[in-house]
Amino acid sequence: MTQPVRHDAMRARNLELVLGEISRGGPVTRAALAERTGLTKSTVSTLVGALLEAGFLAEQAAVRAGERGRPGVEVSLSGARLASLGLEINVDYLAACVLDLTSTVRRAVRLERDNRREPASEVLRAVAELAASTLAEARELGLTVAGAVLAVSGPVRDGVVLSAPNLGWQNVPVVLDLPLPVSVDNEANLGALGELWFGAGSADFLYVSGEIGIGAGLVVGSRLFRGTGGLAGELGHVLVSPAGPACRCGAVGCLETYAGQEAMLAAAGVGTVDEFAAALAGEDAAALSAAAAAGEALGLALASAVNLMDVDRVVLGGVFGRLFRWLAPAAEAVLTARLGSLRGSVPVLSPSALGDSAATLGAAGRTVHRVLADPAPFLS
């Protein structure tokens, strides 16, 4: 028995199959592609031709020692034509990066800027300006940017930043005046995807973004867990103590009030993260005790997260990544005390591999993944 499949849908599926094989397996001949995908050689040739023409692929002569016969021509992903733009608005900086289709960073810009001083509309205007100048640079490199994703440090639903207390934003619709499709997502979600694709992530882990605010993104089976309405991962507002200090979110005793950047700096009696890191490196007592207290609070909130979401790896990003060796021991001690006997194991903590770039890379990576997963709309 057989079933008919519509030609367009079949072509889209086969394009995805061929492109997926090339992007995962690396340079490959048309003959080997036909073998691996089960498609006929002539179908593979047609599809590869279309992908070459659209700039997805490049061709090169393969010279392999020890193989008999003429060397075949191999095709591989091309970074020459298609690209994607990642953008980020954080509390104290704006960032942009351009990834080509081979996931190579072609441009990365970071602009230190206190985004709390201005209304949301001004900050959005500034990020659009940064995006426009980055797009112009991409054009000069011969790149066509397929789409942009913007990371914002607060919960996002349907293109609206519901609340970013650290930016002073409430229900801000994100509209950027740019000549390409732009979507917006939470900074910690995109940081998790950044670490998954390019950094310290694995198929299952919790990414924690420590900045002025604290967020988290859970990856299960290589997919982001978003919860019912897309707002999962608000680790910064998980309870550490019902008798704790007031949080900007309106609650008390949230993790952010203990381990947010400002709380840590205040406890250490320093003004900047650089000063904090220097004081820690110099074994300053106040700094060490501030880091231990923040690590302990982080451990308490993470223990609740592990109990609820069953996590066995945690990647600490942002400031937490930078201060990892001072925060992690206290956090690990709390995790062991709270989880060891019930679960028989304690999640492994590791520092981010991408630092402050995680969210911007994840944002840019989203479009690369989207284009590779469904190339048909980008072919003429």
Is residue 192 within the footprint of a second copy (CB under 8 A)?
no
Nearer to a second copy, 133 or 202 (CB): 202
Closest CA to 123 of 98, 88, 156, 158: 88
Select the span of 119-127, 262-270, 301-309, 358-366 touching a second copy (CB under 8 A): 301-309
Residue type, 240: V
Crossing angle of helices 358-373 and 187-198, in 10° steps, is 70
Residues 6 or more apart whose Cβ sits within 8 Å of residue 203: 219, 221, 222
Shortest reach from residue 350's CB to a second copy, in Å? 15
Is residue 298 near a second copy by the rule CB under 8 A? no
Place of tokens 């890191």: 277
Give dist(CA 79, CA 368) in Å, integer: 11
Answer yes or no: are the C-beta atoms of 286 and 269 closer than 8 Å.
Answer: yes
According to the binding rule CB under 8 A, does residue 246 interact with a second copy? no
Using CB under 8 A as the binding rule, whether residue 46 contacts a second copy is answered as: no
Cα angle vertex 98, ends 77, 130, to 5°? 160
Please name the residue that has the structure tokens 């002569």.
61
> Does position 2 bind a second copy by CB under 8 A?
yes
Does 172 interact with a second copy (rule: CB under 8 A)?
no
Task: Say if CB 229 and CB 235 are below 8 A apart.
Answer: no
Rule CB under 8 A: which of 90-109 touch a second copy?
none
Strand-pairing partners, residue 351, are: 316
**Shortest CB 30 distance to a second copy, Å:** 19
In angstroms, what is the minimal distance from the CB of 345 to a second copy? 9
Tokens of 319: 């400031």
Interface positions, 205-244, toward a second copy (CB under 8 A): 216, 220, 225-235, 237-243
DSSP class of residue 71 equals: P
At closest approach, how far in Å is the CB of 298 from a second copy? 12
Closest contact distance (angstroms) between CB of 158 and a second copy is: 13
Find the binder of a second copy among 106, 343, 369, 370 (CB under 8 A).
Answer: 343
Question: What is the binding site for a second copy (CB under 8 A)?
Answer: 1-5, 7, 10, 155, 162-163, 165, 171, 204, 216, 220, 225-235, 237-243, 249-251, 300-301, 303-305, 307-312, 337-344
